[in-house]
């Protein structure tokens, strides 16, 4: 019996095949696949579709990288990709041939008047014309054969060109998305800074009535590059004992555990913590760090965030840059 496609979560299977699912879900899929032949066949079909999309350059860039590092790890899988490439070429060739129907009656239609013409000539002239006709036939068949070979090469080139074009389109889209995301984040950071400014930089008259806070806070958002001039700034006054850093994590980075390291601009490690977990908050998934204020001096800092998978593998998640002003 067919399993309706809706009951078979294709997107999840794609994530599974790209090694993006947590261990628990991987186990569930595998257990079902090895108990249910139909489910297994569906996974294999999704696998083929994924390979075909890769060959045609239809996979988005972020998935493409996963595909190459995880999916193509084994020689068997690489052979499957080679096969898909050949199948795509041959299928597009047959598309070309189907669009140009050839009538099998045509040669017979041409041959009959030619035969009648040759029969009407004297033997010497008939021999010459027949020889010329033979040369013409061989020449034409060679040309046709060569034409077919060129057409085959052309369709292969066309398939490759299509794949390249699709990849180029995806890259352009991705660059545009990243650019707009950076602009949004920069605007968000600017807003947050404006909102936080009265709190972290109290005016003279306010500081005279209120005691200086012992904890200062800063929110770090993903996506800002090292060279960005929109870095968030943490102002640490003398009385401050703890700097609370709220690190916002991309929801896709759903690692069970995280670890962070703080480094100066010169790369010197000043602080680190392991076994951290991200919590869902109003602004997204965040990790809260309470860093002793004494580890900071005035200057630029880099916070590296790494995720630990269920299997204990440590993977890079991202880098956050900020500036500290100690007063």
Contact positions toward other proteins, by CB under 8 A?
2-5, 16-17, 19, 26-27, 30-31, 33-35, 40-42, 44-45, 48, 52, 56, 58, 68-74, 76-83, 85-92, 94-95, 152, 156, 162, 311-314
Smallest separation, CB 316 to other proteins (Å): 9
Structure tokens at 313: 């593998």
Spacing of C-alpha 159 from chain mean position: 21
Smallest separation, CB 226 to other proteins (Å): 19
The β-bridge relationship of strands 215-220 and 242-249 is: parallel
DSSP 268-306: -EEEEEEEE--EEETTEEEEEEEEEGGG--SEEEEEEEE
Evaluate the CA torsion angle 19, 11, 287, 298 in order and state its sign.
positive
Contact indicator for 269, 261 with CB cutoff of 8 Å? yes
Smallest separation, CB 296 to other proteins (Å): 27
Contact indicator for 294, 214 with CB cutoff of 8 Å? no
DSSP label at residue 211: P
Q: Which is nearer to other proteins, 97 or 117 (CB)?
A: 97
The β-bridge relationship of strands 269-276 and 299-308 is: unpaired
Q: Which is nearer to other proteins, 44 or 114 (CB)?
A: 44
Smallest separation, CB 102 to other proteins (Å): 17
> What's the rounded Cα separation, in Å, for the pair 219 and 188?
11
Q: Which is nearer to other proteins, 55 or 189 (CB)?
A: 55
Smallest separation, CB 44 to other proteins (Å): 6
- Among left, alpha and beta (phi > 0; psi -120 to 50; other), residue 21 is beta
Smallest separation, CB 250 to other proteins (Å): 20
280 φ, ψ to 5°?
A: -75, 125
Q: Which is nearer to other proteins, 69 or 215 (CB)?
A: 69
Smallest separation, CB 186 to other proteins (Å): 30
Rounded to 10 degrees, the C-alpha dihedral 68/74/76/79 comes to: 40
Q: Which is nearer to other proteins, 71 or 322 (CB)?
A: 71
> What's the rounded Cα separation, in Å, for the pair 189 and 179?
15
Smallest separation, CB 77 to other proteins (Å): 6
Rounded to 10 degrees, the C-alpha dihedral 203/209/213/214 comes to: 140
Cross-strand bridge partners of residue 246: 219, 288
Smallest separation, CB 287 to other proteins (Å): 22
Helix (H, G, I), strand (E, B) or coil at 217: strand
Q: Which is nearer to other proteins, 152 or 273 (CB)?
A: 152
Rounded to 10 degrees, the C-alpha dihedral 74/77/78/83 comes to: 160
């Amino acid at each position: 019996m067919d399993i309706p496609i809706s009951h078979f979560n294709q997107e999840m299977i794609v994530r599974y095949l790209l090694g993006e699912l947590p261990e628990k879900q991987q186990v569930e899929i595998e257990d079902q696949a090895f108990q249910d032949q139909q489910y297994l066949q569906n996974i294999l079909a999704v696998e083929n579709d994924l390979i075909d999309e890769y060959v045609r350059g239809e996979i988005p860039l972020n998935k493409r990288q996963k595909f190459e590092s995880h999916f193509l790890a084994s020689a068997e899988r690489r052979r499957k990709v080679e096969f898909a490439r050949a199948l795509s070429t041959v299928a597009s060739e047959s598309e070309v041939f189907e669009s140009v129907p050839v009538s099998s009656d045509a040669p017979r239609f041409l041959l009959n008047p030619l035969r009648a013409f040759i029969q009407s000539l004297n033997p010497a002239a008939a021999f010459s014309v027949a020889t010329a006709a033979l040369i013409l036939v061989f020449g034409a068949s060679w040309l046709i054969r060569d034409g077919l070979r060129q057409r085959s090469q052309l369709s292969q080139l066309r398939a490759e060109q299509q794949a390249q074009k699709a990849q180029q389109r995806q890259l352009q889209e991705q660059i545009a998305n990243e650019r707009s995301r950076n602009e949004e984040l920069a605007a968000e950071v600017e807003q947050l800074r404006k909102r936080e400014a009265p709190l972290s930089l109290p005016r003279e008259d306010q500081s005279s009535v209120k005691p200086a806070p012992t904890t200062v806070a800063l929110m770090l958002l993903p996506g800002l590059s090292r060279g960005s001039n929109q870095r968030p700034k943490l102002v640490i006054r003398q009385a401050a004992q703890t700097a609370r850093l709220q690190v916002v994590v991309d929801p896709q980075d759903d690692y069970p555990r995280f670890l962070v390291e703080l480094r100066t601009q010169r790369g010197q490690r000043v602080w680190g913590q392991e076994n951290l977990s991200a919590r869902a908050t109003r602004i997204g998934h965040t990790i809260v760090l309470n860093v002793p204020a004494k580890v900071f001096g005035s200057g630029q800092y880099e916070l590296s965030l790494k995720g630990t998978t269920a299997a204990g593998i440590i993977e890079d998640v991202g880098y956050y840059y900020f500036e500290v002003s100690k007063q």
